[in-house]
Structure 1
């Protein structure tokens, strides 16, 4: 009898330990692929209950999560994290704290520890950010906060504010997405929340000027996911919300450098405030979490291989 009880207790404890080795459901988190260490990195976000903010750092290797640390970086949501290839570090920037403060603190994660970054753009949350691989430059646009109508670039360790006196340029916005386009070798911006509504405009930044791309686009939305598939050289868009119409999307779109195409109608449930990254190990896009129609925080993990979505266990 004692052996049976011991075995049951062991299984219960083992189950609890395994359950702990995955992130809690959340939204407004940020993910990127650390190409130096070949794994996805995820930081922060909002948990169940609007007052629960995370400062945890997780790594995803294939389908296995590992909690790296409870970071010394401020707990936050609506931030960004991006891998910078020429220094092999991940930059965490922006966000909003539990107290509602727009955050200015930044840090580099090298796989072992955080290094604070002393100077940079003004405090903001939900900025659009992407690394331009052709120009080897990090590009940051807009966001909510004091710098909502600002644009910055980071190169060789130096932040430079970019003049926005160009007449034809994107409106200041938040909850947008910006990625590197491997076909066009430029950075592209789509959607977001501007002037009190979700928008559907699409722009290209070549390092000198903005150009609006006059193409058929997905419906207007904000808080969507947009990731570049480095292997197939396409951009994949999923989900988001149209604020003025109250529509939560669960659709998948692909941009090939010239046109958008709507793809799979099945996959993750409709959501916004999700995050994801391109996993170069598996040549797939990985999505985690978000918020569904019932405003429930999600903790599911999915992958997109260019043809279909698959839920990862």
Structure 2
């Protein structure tokens, strides 16, 4: 059993709560928390951000007070649904810029709470599954596709059974959405694991992890991490589990203690898992015994770093070359050397596909026989900065305008070596 070190943070932040939601905004390098249930003073509708290791309350406008809603980070924060005092919500909100929420006018999933939701980075779409309404658990799957319709559409597919309070996260390594657990209509805690790809839902064989619901799970740049949850109506869990795409592994930890209804996010800038709040007593306990307001972090240790490289088949390229560079882990601020073939005579492009970072492509092409010069520095969105481009309209396909830059570290008549450094992830 490998060790997993949690550290309680000594800071002032949101009040105690459970069944709130959190996500990481990669465009702003911050964690956003919204809403929840205070346990004794009612529902909450406040928004907090965590930059570095400090909480700050932000935003004057936003969704109404609620609990059991879902959030995910797609550059900025995206929120759907939840439950108020007397009704379920079916509204969609996003922080488009700054600190305030904007309601998106759209018809989509029915009003619900306790659903799972995650951003599928490589597909540039939000995936929502399940939850419950007044009639019981739900088992439908919806997507919000930013690159195509930019609205909710239901995915017609056979997948997990109807359930409330599953946990969902995006597996960056295997490029798929992973769902675990939940509670079915009879109140039974589930222990199945499912994966969603472009081909649809498929159940994954798994071993060891206990059935649970109302825990939390995040995707990191190396694996998925799940913490805590509830089995039945009164069995609280305290274990940390990691999932590598095939196997669940329990991690030895000294940390937040048994709880449910908490929330977690992965701070990609600091490579830190952030956990906040939850309940340390079973449902039905006295209100002042339910909600907690503690913040815990686990910093993922830096692995041994090696250059992440890709190259074309030939150093001398007669027409064009294409190299696809998809690292196993995405690291902020870590340069990656990419070698591509380059032809000094033919003005066809050499393409480096950085879709894992920006859903964009960097086209390096010769113009008037001039190669890029070692030391050239270019920002990805800056089309005019390419003196060796064919046409500005084809230089950078970067519709979502992710920040980042590359610089040329070597250039010859038939080869270009560039180093790409990611300033922030798009999603």
Query: Equivalent residue of 2:253, what SS?
Result: coil
1:240-291 CA-partner distances (Å, limit 9, x unpaired): 01016x3211100111122111112311110000001001222110000000
1:306 positional shift:
4.0
Inter-partner Cα distance in structure 2 for 1:111 and 1:264: 39
Query: Match of 1:194?
Result: 184
The TM-score, its normalising length taken from structure 2, stands at 0.62
Query: Equivalent residue of 1:263, what SS?
Result: strand
1:70 positional shift:
4.5
- Does residue 156 of structure 2 align to residue 163 of structure 1? yes
Larger Rg: 2
Query: Match of 2:240?
Result: 252
Kindly report the root-mean-square deviation, in angstroms, between the aligned alpha carbons of the 2 structures.
1.9
Runs of at least 5 residues in structure 2 that lack an aligned partner in the other structure:
1-9, 302-427
- Does residue 130 of structure 2 align to residue 116 of structure 1? no
* Partner residue of 1:90 out of 64, 73, 77: 77
Inter-partner Cα distance in structure 2 for 1:199 and 1:77: 22
Query: Match of 1:242?
Result: 231
Matches within 5 A, 1:1-313: 22-49=13-40, 52-84=42-74, 88-97=75-84, 99-109=85-95, 110-119=97-106, 120-145=108-133, 148-156=138-146, 157-164=150-157, 166=158, 169-195=159-185, 196-230=187-221, 233-243=222-232, 246-293=234-281, 295-306=289-300
1:69 positional shift:
2.8
* Paired residues of 1:81 and 1:92 also in contact (CA < 8 A): yes
Inter-partner Cα distance in structure 2 for 1:47 and 1:65: 18
Alignment length, in residue pairs? Answer: 278
Runs of at least 5 residues in structure 1 that lack an aligned partner in the other structure:
1-17, 308-313
Of the structure 1 ranges 291-300 and 194-203, higher mean CA displacement relative to structure 2 is found in 291-300
1:212-246 CA-partner distances (Å, limit 9, x unpaired): 1112041000001101112xx210010001016x3
In structure 2, relative to structure 1, the CA distance for the partners of 1:220 and 1:102 (3 Å cut) is same
In structure 2, relative to structure 1, the CA distance for the partners of 1:225 and 1:180 (3 Å cut) is same
* Paired residues of 1:287 and 1:303 also in contact (CA < 8 A): yes
Inter-partner Cα distance in structure 2 for 1:217 and 1:210: 22
Q: Which runs of 4+ in 1 moved over 3 A?
A: none
Inter-partner Cα distance in structure 1 for 2:101 and 2:205: 42
